[in-house]
A = this chain, B = another copy of it.
Amino acid sequence: MHHMDTLHRVKANTKVLAFDIFGTVVDWHGSIVREVQALYPHVDANAFALAWRAGYQPAMARVRSGELGWTRIDELHRLVLEGLLPQFGLTHLNETERVHLNRVWHRLDAWPDSVAGLTRLKQRFTICSLSNGNLGLLTNMAKRAGLPWDCVLSAEVFRAYKPDPATYLGVAQVFDLEPHQVMLCAAHHDDLDAARACGLHTAYIERPMEFGASQIKDVSPQAGNDLHARDLMALADLLGC
């Protein structure tokens, strides 16, 4: 499905692969469902995970609009969590338990192909995260899951949240590259659209189970992306790694 010219152009130009994390490299939904089921069996873990994630974009929007000053995702996750506890019957959790639960975002499991795929891609490219997650979260996650980043990059470095152009262009600037020498790899078309508008190459990664089995995601290709890959092993295949 990829035109040979596109593949050739991408392979010849790209130096850095920047990866979205939540949903693209790690399975936030499945990981949260598993932890919540184990800790709080009476809670509807699927609904809880979906509700927590649904609060994420509105919370970031409050930072982007200036209503909140710079606030890390750890703190935004906690804000959203506090709002959810009543509706899920969890208001009895003490501070230690709330802190532990909030840190589940540091303990997300990688999709089964992620570590092997990244390890192959790292042979030929510089691989980094480009996530709205904070540096500590991304580092703890990578250490636990074995994600072999060359560099952990985050919105925290650029003090701007995706889709702010400062994040995509920031990756190119960190490595003294032109935007087209960086490729964003993500499971979300809006993220890829914003990166493309900044001149980056883009690779869509299918993650049909991102929201769990109750809500299968449409992973149809969109024309604007340079590459479309089922998972990170397929991306490594495409890029000849």
Contacts and interface: CB of A to CB of B under 8 A. Distances in A.
A135 B74 contact: no
A134 B174 CA distance: 8
B135 A142 contact: no
Contact of A151 (B74, B135, B175): B135
A21 to B, nearest CB: 14
B174 A136 contact: yes
A169 to B, nearest CB: 14
A224 to B, nearest CB: 28
A151 B152 contact: yes
A136 B74 contact: no
A44 to B, nearest CB: 29
A185 B126 CA distance: 26
A58 to B, nearest CB: 24
A143 interface: yes
A126 B139 contact: yes
Contact of A175 (B128, B139, B150, B153): B139
Nearest to A151: B139
Contacts of A81: none
A97 interface: no
Nearest to A139: B151
Contact of A176 (B74, B150, B156, B175): B74
Interface of A: 74, 126, 128, 134-136, 138-140, 142-143, 150-153, 156-157, 174-176
